[in-house]
Amino acid sequence: MLKRAYDWCVSYASHPAAPWLLFAITFVESSVSPLPPIPLLIPMCIARPDRAWFYAGICSLGAVTGGYLGYAIGALLYESVGAWLIGIYGLQDKAAHLIASSQDYWFWVLVTKGLTPIPFKIVTIMSGFLHFDLWKFTVGMVVSRATFFLAIAVALRFYGDDIRIFIEKHLPMAALSLLAIIVGGFFVLPMVL
């Protein structure tokens, strides 16, 4: 089943709708969904290394625009939607402390989280809840998410064949490692905030 999913992602890379799907997944990952774009981005870049920069740009644009939706949820809908999403990650008790103490360092929290596969929506929602400066929020998102996705694109552009061979040879281990990083992010995030 894992091999079929991987083969579908690789074959889908040349489909005209693939960039739109990649954008949509990245957009919702930055605002409401726990599904990251990396499982689609990696096979797409491996299948089409000549378009790795393009795919990284799509992910960056999706992350930034989705980040604004996350910010709006935090700023305007925190009591309903935002609190529910933050509650899923067990951070509701830390919200009051964050409001009181985080304005001085929140930009660095935003940038640091944006450079990792840890779910980005938590930071965007909390940024809105904290009414963090929108200009700093934008700069932090653009710098961190563009750097994150471009780093993946660079690795896949120059080492794509080696990475593809490794993934195809060790697909269960590669998938399990990616899953561990993503799920681990849910447990690490409450400890670092």
Which tokens is 134 given? 């929108």
Any idea which residue has 């981005």 for tokens? 41
How confident is the model at residue 192, as a pLDDT?
A: 47
Q: pLDDT digit string (tens) for 129-183? A: 888 999 999 999 999 999 999 998 888 887 767 766 766 666 566 666 655 655 5
Q: Residues 77, 78, 84, 87: what is their CA dihedral angle, to the nearest 10 degrees?
A: 160
Dist. CA 6–CA 19, nearest whole Å: 17
Decide which of 35 and 127 is more confident: 127
The parent domain of residue 174 ranges over 2-192
How confident is the model at residue 145, as a pLDDT?
A: 94
> Helix axis angle, 38-47 relative to 134-169, nearest 10°?
60
Which tokens is 184 given? 């681990």
How confident is the model at residue 183, as a pLDDT?
A: 57
Q: Global pTM?
A: 0.75
Q: pLDDT digit string (tens) for 10-62? A: 666 777 888 998 999 999 989 887 778 887 888 888 878 888 899 999 999 99
How confident is the model at residue 71, as a pLDDT?
A: 95
Give the best-scoring range by mean pLDDT among 93-97, 109-113, 176-180.
Answer: 109-113
Domain count, the chain: 1
